[in-house]
Amino acid sequence: MPKPTAKRNVSFLLIYFIITSVFLIPGKTLAAFQPEWVQTYISGSLKMQDLYYGASFTEFKGEAPDYEALRLAKDRALDELCYQLSVSIQSKFEDSIVKKGEYEEQHIASSLFVSTRKVLSGIQEKDKWTDIRKHRHWVLLVIDKEKADQQIEQQKFINEVVDRLEHKQDEVLEGIKQMASVLNNSMQVYNDRMNQLEDLLHTIDTKVEASGAQTKEEYAYLRQDIMQLEKSRKAYEETLAQSEKRQSEQIEELITQNDELKVLMGQLSERIQCDYFLALANDDIRYKNPDAKFKVNIKSDKGQGANYYNGEKVRFLIQASRGCYVKVVYISSTDEVSAKEYRINTILFPNAHDRENWIDASKTKVIGRLGELEIQPPFGKDVISVIASERQFDDIDEILRSSKDGYYSETTSNTHGALDIRSRGIQVVRPENGTVANVSDSHQSLGTVATDTCFIVSRPR
C-alpha cells in the first residue's frame, strides 16, 4: 500500500501513531440520506432481531406525498408484514388446519394472511422516509416477535383461520389477490436492485482495465452470480405474469420463487459488502448524481486496477466536470495472515502538506505528486475513493487540526466505517421552500455531490 516517505517527513509510523487515537469528527453522513433499512431492504439483506417487519413504498407526484400516498405506503407495508409472517408460520399450522378439511395450500396461505392482518395488534410504525429523487414514500412497520407469536398461538387465531376457510371463501379469494399484489410490489424492488447491479458490472469492467489476469478472475464470480440472479428474477416475473392471467392460481410457486430470489439477493449483497471496492462502488451507484453534468473521476497513474510493487511510487489523478471541493480517502489492504481484518482509512487529501482542496473544472489534480506515496506491505487490494462537493465539507478544519504533521486516519473492521469516513462532513440543507417534512434525501440537495472509487493491487517484488 502507498505510504508517505521521509521526503515529506510523513512516515508509516506516524500514520499508525495517528490511528491509535481515533478522532470522531461530527458531521452528517451520506448514509443518512437513504436510511440503512431502505438500502438493506432493496438489497435483500434486511434483518431485524426480535422483530417481524414489513416495508414498502408508494410513488407520488409533486414535491411531497399527499394523504392518499401516505396511507397507501402504510397499507402496503402492513400487507408485506402480514404476508411474511403468514408464510413463515404456514408449515407450523398446516397440519392442524388440514386435519379439519381438505384445503388447497394457496387457500391456507391466504386465510393465514387475512387472519394475521385482522387479528394482530401491537404493530408499530418504526420509520418512514421520503425519496424526493424517485418520488417515493417509504414506510417500515414492525411488531415484536414474542408478542406476535403469542397472538398466533392462541386458539382464537386458529379458529379464525379455519372459519374463514370453511365459511368465507370470498375473503380467501380476495386474500390471494392481496398476496399477489404484495409479490407484484416486490418486483419493482427487485428491478431497482438489478439496475444497480448492472451498473456495478459496468463499473467493474471500467475499473479493471489495467488489472492483471488474477484480479480480473477474482471478479468473474460476481458477473456469474449477477447473471444467475437475473435469470431467477426473469423466471419470477414470468410466473407473476401467468399468475395474473390465471386468477393467482400459482400463488404457491410465486411464494417459493420470491423466497429463493430474496435468498440469492441477500447472499450477493453480503459478498458485495465484504469487498471494500465493491461496497464503495455500489455506494457510488446508489447515490449516482441526478445531475449528469457533475461528475468526478479518480484513477492511478498506471490505470484502473493496476499492479504496483514494493517500493514503487504511486500517484492518483482526479478530475471533476466542474469546480468543487474534494476529499480523497485511502483504504489500505490487510494482512491476510492476520485473524482480524482491520483496515486503515487515511484521508490522503487534503492533508497537512496540501490543504487547499478546491479543484478547477476539467483540470487534473495529482495526489502524490511529490513522490510521497510509496508501496509498502501489507500487500493486497487498496481502495481509493473521492467525494466531490460544491460546498466545503464541514469537517475539513477538524481533519487538518487532527492530522498535525501528517494524514488523518481511522481504523475500521468493516466497510461501513470506510463509507462513513468518506461521506462525513457533508452539509445537509433543506429544500428552499421548506415545505417537505421528514425528508432525508436533501444532500446539498440534488446535484451538488459526486463520488467515484478505484483500486490498485500492491504486490511484493
Interval 182-200: pLDDT, tens: 888 888 889 988 998 999 9
434 falls in which pLDDT band (50, 70, 90)?
A: very low
Give the C-alpha distances (Å, rounded to integers) separating 55 from 81, 145, 178.
7, 16, 15
pLDDT in the model for residue 68: 94
Do 408 and 422 lie in one domain? The reply is yes
Q: Tell me, yes or no, whether 281 lies in a domain.
A: no
Domain boundary among 249, 276, 303: 276
Which residue is listed with cell 417481524? 52
pLDDT over 90 at 125, yes or no? yes
Do 333 and 262 lie in one domain? The reply is no
DSSP letter for 122, please. -
Do 168 and 150 lie in one domain? The reply is yes
Do 265 and 384 lie in one domain? The reply is no
pLDDT over 90 at 311, yes or no? yes
Q: First CA to last CA across the chain, in angstroms?
A: 13
Domain boundary among 276, 306, 330: 276
309 falls in which pLDDT band (50, 70, 90)?
A: very high
Do 218 and 306 lie in one domain? The reply is no
pLDDT in the model for residue 383: 94
Q: What is the mean pLDDT of residues 104-130?
A: 88
Do 145 and 217 lie in one domain? The reply is yes
Do 142 and 271 lie in one domain? The reply is yes
Do 264 and 315 lie in one domain? The reply is no
Do 316 and 344 lie in one domain? The reply is yes
The secondary structure element, H or E, covering residue 178 is: helix 169-207
Question: Strand 2-4 relative to strand 324-331: parallel, antiparallel, unpaired?
Answer: unpaired
How many CB atoms lie under 10 A from the CB of residue 150? 12
pLDDT over 90 at 81, yes or no? yes
How many structural domains is the chain composed of?
Answer: 2
Phi-psi region of 231 (alpha: psi -120 to 50; beta: other; left: phi over 0): alpha
pLDDT over 50 at 23, yes or no? no
Q: Range of 424's domain?
A: 2-34+287-459
Q: Tell me, yes or no, whether 282 lies in a domain.
A: no
Q: How many helices (H) and strands (E) does the chain have?
A: 13, 15
pTM score, whole prediction: 0.78
Strand, helix or coil for residue 215? helix
- What is the tens place of the pLDDT at every residue in 217-229? 888 888 889 998 9
The secondary structure element, H or E, covering residue 118 is: helix 105-119
Contact (Cβ atoms closer than 8 angstroms) between residue 319 and residue 364: yes
Supply 129's cell numbers: 422516509
Domain boundary among 256, 276, 296: 276
Task: Give rounded-to-5 percent helix, strand, coil for the chain.
Answer: 45, 20, 30
51 falls in which pLDDT band (50, 70, 90)?
A: very high
Do 231 and 125 lie in one domain? The reply is yes
Do 211 and 341 lie in one domain? The reply is no
Cα–Cα distance for residue pair 9/14, rounded to 1 Å: 9
Q: Tell me, yes or no, whether 120 lies in a domain.
A: yes
442 falls in which pLDDT band (50, 70, 90)?
A: very low
Rg of the chain taking only CA atoms, in angstroms: 26
**Mean pLDDT, the chain, whole residue set:** 81
Do 193 and 291 lie in one domain? The reply is no
Residues in contact with 228: Cβ distance below 8 Å, sequence separation at least 6, in sequence order: 264
Cα–Cα distance for residue pair 418/385, rounded to 1 Å: 9
- CA triplet 422, 300, 225: central angle to 5 degrees? 70
The secondary structure element, H or E, covering residue 58 is: strand 51-59
